[in-house]
């Protein structure tokens, strides 16, 4: 994997982005879907629950809250499903709890993919690509 946050941020986009393998139309649709199901559900759930707690209530607000909470539930179910692959109970450590906090990094991952979708890489993991200017 990567050594630290800076290297992760710099190299992550190339690892996750598939803009070289798809059309611009498909890329736009993929980015919209990614934003909708991975980037926004946690922040929107917090915002919508705050609105409900503040006394605002309407059918669209309740529907949006339910949808976003359902998407967060799916993300947590995925964590539960892959948990045995990453952790062994006999090697438990407090750092292992970060695994359960990984959905909080989803919006940041979406931002990184959006940034890399608009850039042509010039280097990746030490390899330098020629620029066609």
DSSP 23-68: -HHHHHHHHHHHIIIIISHHHHHHHHHHHHHTT---HHHHHHHHHH
Instruction: Please state, in angstroms and as integers, the Cα–Cα distance from residue 43 to each residue in 3, 26, 32, 130, following that order.
Output: 28, 25, 16, 39
Q: What is the tens place of the pLDDT at every residue in 61-120?
A: 999 999 999 999 999 999 999 888 877 655 667 767 788 899 999 999 899 888 888 777
Q: What is the tens place of the pLDDT at every residue in 5-37?
A: 777 776 666 555 566 677 888 888 989 999 999
Q: Which of the 8 DSSP states describes residue 128? A: E
pLDDT confidence band for 43 (50 / 70 / 90): very high
Phi-psi region of 126 (alpha: psi -120 to 50; beta: other; left: phi over 0): left
Residues in the chain: 133
pTM, whole model, 2 decimals? 0.77
């Amino acid at each position: 994997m990567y050594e630290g946050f800076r290297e992760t941020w710099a190299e992550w986009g190339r690892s996750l982005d598939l803009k070289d393998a798809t059309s611009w139309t498909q890329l736009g649709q993929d980015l919209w879907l990614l934003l909708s199901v991975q980037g926004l559900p946690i922040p929107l759930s917090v915002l919508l629950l705050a609105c409900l707690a503040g006394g605002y209530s309407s059918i669209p607000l309740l529907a949006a809250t339910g949808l976003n909470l359902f998407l967060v539930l799916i993300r947590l179910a995925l964590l539960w499903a892959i948990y045995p692959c990453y952790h062994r109970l006999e090697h438990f450590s407090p750092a292992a709890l970060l695994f359960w906090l990984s959905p909080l990094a989803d919006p940041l991952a979406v931002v990184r993919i959006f940034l890399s979708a608009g850039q042509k890489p010039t280097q990746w993991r030490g390899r330098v690509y020629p620029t066609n200017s």
